[in-house]
Structures are given as structure tokens and as C-alpha cells.
Structure 1
Amino acid sequence: MRRIRPRGFWHSRHQGWLFPFEAAQLLKNQFGAHFPIDPALQQWLEAVDHPLPPLPTHANLVAAADLNAPLSDGRQLLRHQRAGVRWLLARRGAVLADEMGLGKTITALAAARSLLRCSDSRLLVVAPVALHQHWQREALSLELAPQLLSWARLPQEPPPAGVVLLVDEAHFAQNIDAKRTQALLRLARHPRMRAVWLLSGTPLKNGRPVQLLPLLMAIGHPLARDRRAYEELFCNGHWRQAGARMVWDCQGASRLEELQRLLRPQLLFRRKADCLDLPPKLRCFRPVLLAASQQKRLDLALQQRLENYRQRATAGLVRSDAETLALLTAMRRLCALQKLPAAISLVQQLRAAGEAVVLFSSFVAPLAQLQRFLGGELLTGQVPLLQRQQRLLRFQAGSSDLLLATYGVGGIGLGLERASQVVLLERPWTPGDAEQAEDRCHRLGSKSTVTSHWLQLGSADALIDALILSKADRIEVVLAGRRRLLQRQPLAKMLNEILQE
């Protein structure tokens, strides 16, 4: 078993060996006479033995893309979009990781149209349900009718004939053990796939190379054929003691510049500043100061939360080793509520100056309070999808000048270029989510400088913001290949410093 290549590994939860699909034929030759072969795997092997007819040359595919012809709605592909189409057509598996707002959707659809014109193929698009209308509109401008799939309901088998698979918000599949990731990998690695193109403005949301591994598996990147080797080389993978047992830890990062060099052939990352003549995006850090009485109430509330957590840990209701994370989450929630007066004052100033404002938070409670005081449109996961779309249209049409949204709803795929003022009540854990939120406004169609206001209250916000910036440096090395001196303290050490304060 250990001599089989690509390598597999023993999975204790499944009580069996896991191998990449590329090892299936060798496994069949070695063990097929001794063990039954799963019928679905047998169908895959037969599909490999009877491959699809070859595609035309790259030059013919580019010619079929007809890149200089106007779309049905009168638009023209921009220069960087035409270059993106040519780049995709040269690859059967790729990650289009352009910054948010560069028009990845129309780029991928234009490339897919060329493949459909040159082969008997179907077009599948995996995207969050909230973005299906957007995909339908863009596909209509190219006279395409894709089959739209939600992340929650991925089929086990693709349709007959060849398939071109486009995957929007591909970072949804960054956890290799998640069910939706496994479902995507099963679909993407099917032998009937003509092309698998993943779209994500944040393919490395949290700065951890292990998050890239499922995406590389989906596109058939050579680095992903040996999972353990990838984790050892680029994720600082090692065995460590956890209580009475040893666990495999691959949440670190190592050899990032080498990783960037090896990713470059199948991952395209471009910045807006390099492709578009857009107004700049500015970040404005706004400190929030509390009166002595307010600070005392905040400290008391935090102490009560900490004592309550420790009591529950003693009773065995929660994990005792997660106290650091629980305390930090409590600090973020409490601080978000304490920043509401400052947020109200800032939004009122911006609206008085005639500005449209988008405000983001991780938490629903402060957003609900802000809406009661300021009005505006509220977008959270508790709002039905149809109502969300109606509220978004009212904001974009100018009927409202304030949009209040959670990162999980407002930060995904929406175009909010009407607003040039973004307020982040507090920051999410990952730099990718912060970038996604800001770039909802800073995108193709922006007409003025976008200013992002980061409200900072005390050490908790300073800690989160420092983590975001340090993770962003790591992402910069992997995607852009820019050398950075990466310095980062452990989370527990930083939090202990805050508690001492």
C-alpha cells in the first residue's frame, strides 16, 4: 500500500486508506482480484478508458471566443477580461483569483462559451443561491443557459457528455473535511469534465496554505496528488501531543515563496490597480474612547462572561481549552455594542454630507439596534432571500442611503458600487472577509474614492486588526509573490498581554 503512487494515507475516522483518484488504476491492478470494486468507481474507470474527443487547439478556442465582439447588452469585454479568457482556455483546471470587482463572472462565462461552441458539452455553475440571478443576467448577455447549482445540493454525477464546471465563491470549499467540499471534489474530478474553473477573490482567506489544498485537488494540480507531502512542505505539517494521543497539525505555513512559484501556472491573481483606472481605496482607523463609567461596565460584563464560561467548563458543558477563543469572541460582541454611539455619529455625518453608507458587522444584534435608530436596509441571514434582493435593489436605486449587513450576507458577491463609504463596526477573523466587504463598493463602476472606516475600541480590536494584517502579509506572499518579513505572535500570548492591561 505504501508503494502506491500517488501516495495514500490511513484515515482513522473511516478506518481505511484514502488515495487520490489518479491512483485508482494502479490500485485496481494490484488489489482488484482480492477486493470488490465500488460500482461508481468502476464507472469512473470505464470513463477514463473511453475519454472524450479532444478539443481544438488553443488558437482555435480563442478564435471561437470572439473576444472583440460586443455582448448582447452592448458591453465589450475589457482588456484584462480578454486576457483572462485566453488564460483560462489554455488550462483545463484553473483558479481565477482576481481581486473582487474585476468581472470574474463574465470572464469565465466568455471562456466557457468558447468550449461549448467547440464541443458537445454542458455548462454547470456552482454558486450561492443569492448570486443565481446575477449569473443568469451575465449568462444571458452571452446567450448562454447554464444549469445553476447551489453549494447545498451538488449532484453526485454530472450530466451526460462533456461538462464545463464553473465554481463561484470557491473558497466555500476550503475545509477538506466538510461535506460540501467532498461533494465538490467528487463532481470536479469526474472524468467527463472538460474544464474546471474556480472563481474566488479570496482563495486563501485566512492565510493558511492548507485552505488551498481542496481547490488544488478540484483542478487536478500536481501539488495536490500527495496530500501529506503538501502538508509537510507548505503547512508545517507535524505530529504533536494532544492529551494522551498524537495528532497531525497542518495549520501552519512554510516555504510560501516556493508555493507561490508552483501555483503560478494554474492560479491567476490580478489587482484592480493593475487592470482598471479606479479611484483609490483608503482605510481610516477611528479610535473609540469610553468614559470611565462605560469602561467599568464593559470590564464587569467581560468578567461575568469569563466566570460563566469557566463554570460551564467545570461542569463539562464546553471545552476548557477554548477559553482564549471564547473570551476573545465575548470581547468582540461587547465592544461592538459599546461602539454603537460612535457608529451612529459617524453615519449621521456621512449621510449629512450626501454620502451613501454601507456598514458591516459580524453580529446581528448591533445591526438591528442601528436600524431602529438610523433606518436603512438590513441584510442578515434571518431575512428571506427575496426580501434581501428587494432591499438591495432599493439601496442601489437610491431609495435608501444606508445598508446594514453582516459579513456573511453582504460580503459575498454583491455589487454595492453606489456607496463610497464603508464602515466596519468590527473586523471578522479573516482578512479575506474584510477585503470582500470593502470591495463590494470598490469595484468596476466605482466613480469616487472608497473610504473604509475601521472603528477600533481598545485592545480587542487592536488584536484582531493586527491578526488581519499579519495574515494579509502571508496571503500577499502566496498570491502575489511579494517578499514580506512575516512576524506573528501566538494568539494566546497576545491575549494574555491584553488581559494584563
Structure 2
Amino acid sequence: MKTFGTLEYAIDKFSGSWAWKISGVRAVMMISKLIPKLWYGNGPNEVIIPDNEKNVKQIRLILERYPLEILSKSVWQRKARAKVIKKPSNPKIEKLSKAIPKKQFRGKLLNFQKMGLDFLLKSSGNALLADDMGLGKTVQTLAYIATEKQSVPVLVIAPLVTLTNWQREIERFMKKKSKNGRITEDGVPTITSIRSGKQKELSGYDFYLINYELLYKRQIDLSKLNIRTLVCDEVQHLRSKTTQKYSAVKKLAGMKSVKYRVGLSGTPIYNHGSEIWPIVDILKPGLLGNYKEFCEYFCYQDERGKAIVVPSKRDSLRHVLQRDVMLRRKKSDVLKELKDKVRYKETIDADETYYKKELNKIWNKLEDEQRNAETEFSKFASYQRAIQSERQAAGVAKLPHVIDFVKNIMEIEESVVVFCHHKYIHKLLHESLQEFNPAAIIGGQRDKVRQENIDCFQNGGTKLLIAGLRAGNLGINLTRAKYVIFAELDWSPAIHRQAEDRLHRIGQKNTVFAYYLIGKSTLDEHVANILVDKSYEIDAIMDESHDSYENKEKAKLILAQIHDKIHDKINQDKETILNNEKSGECS
């Protein structure tokens, strides 16, 4: 194995005390960034580091990324032994069987869903159900609530766009149960959907539905309800422990009345592995230690200060999660009849002149704003605006080629879903593809309008749906389509996976083809590289082996068809021009 220097435990000749001596150009450069209080030894390529617990931890972080030849192995092994994270006395989840839901549940579970119910029962309802999107996490949770003792009242916290679906699913799968245990076959539980942030006393219901954004405002009202079960849908919304919604959920989860805490998400990690800690700390506090202990044991800090799970620790983190709190099944594991999902990256041309012109405007404006900014926050905000503007410029620069790509797939007479990020790009796509009478999903739509557009597409009223990446990636079923095209990219791989799995889920009878259109020589190329790095970390923690979905032969065949159509169209245009010229000569 290649090493970047040496590590030795030796007496410092200046202080006369034992210290760590590191030599090697790259090793010295890296360690000096992490430990400011050190001094040079014999020359600039050797440093002396005081021997204390904090410095040993920092050296250990360096070793995880940049191996050093350890010259004092026995001393290092003794001093660098990592502190073992204290685990709470939660029993390990036993081997799963096919549990049968109780009579309050209306409906049938698939075999793997019965095992999901058994998992929730054996984990005492304090668990993360991280099944792939489209495997019925909502149904398994409702089966659990119907089966667990004294599980009502229930508080469901979910993204706003999924609240209507939650109400629909409760009414579909749950029967009414009276206080004395009597079940009414044709009745449904009482449900209220909280849509106002104004503080007001809440009446008694079986189910309370609220979105994450309103939670902080209604926390006091909710704390008076004697909630028994807390369900956090799309629990990745709690990945940051500094937000108001996280603080509100943490307080509600800690109430004495709350006995069961269920987190649901096929993508609990959005960007970096350390995002799992806040989620687990709500569901099973203490399992991963406190945040400082978790980071010291599992993570290193990247150049931007983000906590990244060390590659060599990702397997052990997954093992802890699966053993004590998390159940994750992939569609390929449990739905043998479900067809493949094929991802393919297609680099397309972009209007380089337009893109560079827009970049000059954006960065000139940024320089002015940075010069005139009075606070660090103003500087940061102006930089973020510049990045958003550059992303939109990249979207506009490649738009004509995106439209051609979509039109050529539509000519194959297949249903297609197109995802984009900016409202402006959504508007341009909708106008340019008006001949196909597209349905639309976009942020700010009323629930009724959104559902009408989904139903129109699913029922065959149109073969094209254009959706916002953040508006159309949750709580909807788009199994009518087998083609999904990403006209723009998001920074998070989880957003793309959620969007893909609107199509690739139970009920899909065809192979799903996902095309990522990358604008040549634009910001897209940089974003695509970041997505690859993030995906590698997430897959290593969540899944024992990560899927590439790169069935390139199938994808290439479809691309060949599209390119053939484009080539044929060019030849037809040339022929038309020649014919026109000839007819002009004759006349």
C-alpha cells in the first residue's frame, strides 16, 4: 500500500517530552490543516505534535484517508484505540416472520410487507423503515398501527404534497375502532389535516396530519394531545439537527405519552452519511452515541467542513443500523416480477455563446454584490443566487436539444415524464411541447389541480407530463410511463432516485429508462461528478452492494433510435433544400 509519510512516537529534544513525529511532504501539509499547534522538527518536511487525546484523534482521521508508515506500532495501537460508542439496552431485532395484521386493517399485505409489519412489532415501533420507494411503507405502517396495542392517537408528520395521499390511504386501509375495541367494518378512523399555523386547541381525533413546515408553530397544541404514535414520513426532512422542525419533532418524540416512533424514507440520506445521526437520535436516542462521539468514530471532515463517513467505516455503520433500528429492502430483492431500471447519462450540445454571455453577466453582478455586501450573510446569499442563476443558464443553453430529445422519444409513441428544476425552464418546456398537450406538476399548485394533472396522465389523457424535481418527486404514482428524462440536475442523488421511483414501483410492467441530459461544457458536468461521489457514500451505508442500473445495451439501443431519427430528419431537410434549389433553377 502506498504511504504518504511516517508516524513515530519519540522524545522531543526541545521540550523533553514524548510527542508524535510526522514526516513526509503531503502528510505534513495535511496534518498542519487539522492541528494548528505543532512545530517543525528537522526541516520543513517533519513536524512535532504534542501527545494528547485530541491530537491523537486528528492523526487517526488523517490515517483513514492518507496511510502513514507507523514506526511505533504498539504505542499507536494503545493510544489510538477508538472509544466504543455506548449502545442503549435495546434488544436486537430477531429473525423476521410473516406477521398477520389485526382486524382493524382493511386490505392484503404482500409477503415482504408482512415481514415489514413483523419488523415494526419486534422493534417496538421505534424504527426506520427504509424500503425502496414504491414498496408500500405507508401500508406497512398502517398495518402496524392497526395491530399494535394502544397506538392511537397518531400524529403523522409528512411533506405537504403527501398529506392528501395519507388521508386517502388511512380511509382505504383502516377500519373504525371504538374505545371499547369494537370494529365498524364500513367505518373509517377520525382524521384531521392541520393546514393552519395559527395556535388553536385541537379536538380529539384518531389521526392528526401535519406538514413539517407548520410543526414548529403548532408544537404547543400538539403536545396537549396525548399522542401515542409518531410517524415521520420522508424522515430525511430531519437530517439537520439545527432546524426548527427537528427541534419540534425531538420535543414531541420525547413526550411521556409517545410510545412508538416510526421513520419512513427510501432515501434517509440525501447528501452525506452523517445525516443519519439526527434521524436515529429521534427514533432510538443514544444508539449512535451523541453527535460528537458519532463523528469522532465514523467521520472525517472534508475541505468544506462537512462530516463524511470514512469509507472503511461505512460497512460497520450499516451493520449497526440494520441490527438495531433499520429495515431496508430493495425492489430487486422482493419484487422479482418488477422489470429493470436503466440509467444512462447523455451529453448533449448546449449554446456555448449564450452560456458564456450569461456567465459574464452573473459573475459581474456577483462581484458588485460582494463588494457592496455589509454582512457575511449578504455575501453568502449573493453567491447562492449566482449559482442558481448559472444553473438556470445551463438549463436554457441546452433547452433546444432537450426538446428535440423529448420529441424523438414521443415519436416512438411512449408515455414520457420530464423533470426540471427551475419554474422558468418548466414554463419554456411546457410552451415548446404544447403540441403534446402536456400535464404539469409544479410547486404552488393546489392539491386538486395537482391530482387532476396526475390522473390525466395516468388515465391516458396525455402521454407527456412535465414536473418540477422538488414538486413531483414525492407522493405520486406515474407507472403509466416507462421513460423519465432529467432536463436539469439536482445537487442531491436522493432527489433523482425519488423522481425515478415515481415510475419504478409496484404496478410498473415495463423496464424504466432514466435519461440524464448533461449540457456539454456547462455547470452540469460539475454537478454530475458531485452526484457520483455522493451516491457512492450513500450506497455504501444503505446497501451492501450498490446498484448501478447501467444496462447500457438497452439504453444505447433507444439512443441509437433517437439519433437515427435525428439523422434521418437532417437528411430529409437537406433533400428538401436541394429540391427547392433545383425547382428554383428550372423556373
- Of 332, 340, 343 in structure 2, the residue corresponding to residue 280 of structure 1 is 340
CA contact (8 A) 2:426 2:467 kept: yes
Shift of 1:373: 2.0
Shift of 1:423: 0.7
| 2:429 corresponds to 1:398 | no
Distance in 1, matches of 2:455 and 2:546, equals 42
Instruction: Provide Cα deviations, 1:355-398, integer angstroms capped at 9, x if missing partner.
Output: 11111111110110111121312221132332212212212221
Distance in 2, matches of 1:123 and 1:327, equals 43
Counterpart of 2:229 in 1: which secondary structure?
strand
Number of aligned residue pairs: give it. Answer: 409
Counterpart of 2:259 in 1: which secondary structure?
strand
Distance in 2, matches of 1:422 and 1:158, equals 43
- Of 91, 98, 114 in structure 1, the residue corresponding to residue 147 of structure 2 is 114
Alignment match, 1:126 = 157
Q: 1:477 to 1:364 in 2, by over 3 A?
A: same
| 2:414 corresponds to 1:355 | yes
- Of 245, 262, 283 in structure 1, the residue corresponding to residue 320 of structure 2 is 262
Alignment match, 2:276 = 212
**Higher Cα Rg: structure 1 or 2?**
2
| 2:283 corresponds to 1:251 | no
CA contact (8 A) 1:185 1:214 kept: no
Counterpart of 1:409 in 2: which secondary structure?
coil
Alignment match, 2:525 = 462
CA contact (8 A) 2:228 2:260 kept: yes
Amino acid at match of 1:369: L
Shift of 1:329: 3.7
Instruction: Provide Cα deviations, 1:28-63, integer angstroms capped at 9, x if missing partner.
Output: xxxxxxxxxxxxxxxxxxxxxxxxxxxxxx99x986
Distance in 1, matches of 2:338 and 2:100, equals 31
| 2:296 corresponds to 1:232 | yes
Counterpart of 2:153 in 1: which secondary structure?
strand
| TM-score between both structures, scaled by the size of structure 2 | 0.65
Distance in 1, matches of 2:259 and 2:385, equals 46
Instruction: Provide Cα deviations, 1:74-102, integer angstroms capped at 9, x if missing partner.
Output: x5211111111100111131111111111
Alignment match, 1:46 = none
Within-5 A mapping of 1:17-28: none
- Of 128, 138, 154 in structure 2, the residue corresponding to residue 95 of structure 1 is 128
Q: 1:192 to 1:99 in 2, by over 3 A?
A: same
Residue ranges of structure 2 left out of the alignment (5+ in a row): 1-93, 176-188, 190-206, 548-587
Shift of 1:121: 3.2
| 2:147 corresponds to 1:86 | no
CA contact (8 A) 1:286 1:453 kept: yes
- Of 237, 253, 260 in structure 2, the residue corresponding to residue 195 of structure 1 is 260
Q: 1:158 to 1:321 in 2, by over 3 A?
A: closer
Alignment match, 1:245 = none
Counterpart of 2:300 in 1: which secondary structure?
coil
Instruction: Provide Cα deviations, 1:164-192, integer angstroms capped at 9, x if missing partner.
Output: 22111111111111111111111122221
Alignment match, 1:151 = 212
Shift of 1:327: 5.5
Residue ranges of structure 1 left out of the alignment (5+ in a row): 1-57, 243-248, 485-501
Alignment match, 2:430 = 371
Amino acid at match of 1:231: C
Distance in 2, matches of 1:461 and 1:186, equals 40
Alignment match, 2:38 = none
Alignment match, 1:48 = none
Alignment match, 1:473 = 536
Counterpart of 1:216 in 2: which secondary structure?
helix
CA contact (8 A) 1:232 1:250 kept: no
Q: 1:279 to 1:483 in 2, by over 3 A?
A: closer
Q: Which 10-residue stretch deviates more, 137-146 or 356-365? A: 137-146
Counterpart of 2:484 in 1: which secondary structure?
strand
Distance in 2, matches of 1:324 and 1:458, equals 23
Distance in 2, matches of 1:95 and 1:120, equals 17
Distance in 2, matches of 1:64 and 1:393, equals 33
Alignment match, 2:365 = 308
Instruction: Provide Cα deviations, 1:433-488, integer angstroms capped at 9, x if missing partner.
Output: 0111111111111111111111111242222112111111101111113499xxxx
Amino acid at match of 1:285: K
Q: 1:198 to 1:328 in 2, by over 3 A?
A: same
Instruction: Provide Cα deviations, 1:287-335, integer angstroms capped at 9, x if missing partner.
Output: 2124xxx312321211221111011101116755788866654432111
Counterpart of 1:304 in 2: which secondary structure?
helix
Alignment match, 2:75 = none
Distance in 1, matches of 2:239 and 2:164, equals 25
Shift of 1:64: 6.5
Distance in 2, matches of 1:137 and 1:195, equals 22
Q: Which 10-residue stretch deviates more, 371-380 or 448-457? A: 371-380
CA contact (8 A) 2:484 2:515 kept: yes
CA contact (8 A) 1:62 1:114 kept: no
Shift of 1:352: 2.2
Alignment match, 1:13 = none
Alignment match, 1:446 = 508
CA contact (8 A) 2:99 2:114 kept: no
CA contact (8 A) 1:441 1:450 kept: yes
Alignment match, 1:433 = 495
Shift of 1:141: 2.9
Q: 1:342 to 1:198 in 2, by over 3 A?
A: same
Counterpart of 1:65 in 2: which secondary structure?
coil
Amino acid at match of 1:262: V
Alignment match, 2:66 = none
Distance in 2, matches of 1:369 and 1:330, equals 16
Percent of aligned pairs with the same residue? 25
Distance in 1, matches of 2:535 and 2:142, equals 29
Alignment match, 1:419 = 481
Amino acid at match of 2:128: V
Amino acid at match of 1:295: E
CA contact (8 A) 1:221 1:266 kept: no
Q: 1:160 to 1:321 in 2, by over 3 A?
A: closer
CA contact (8 A) 1:416 1:441 kept: yes
CA contact (8 A) 1:223 1:230 kept: no
| 2:176 corresponds to 1:137 | no
Compute the RMSD of aligned alpha carbons: 2.8
CA contact (8 A) 2:213 2:245 kept: yes
Shift of 1:267: 1.1
Distance in 1, matches of 2:234 and 2:348, equals 34
Distance in 2, matches of 1:283 and 1:98, equals 20
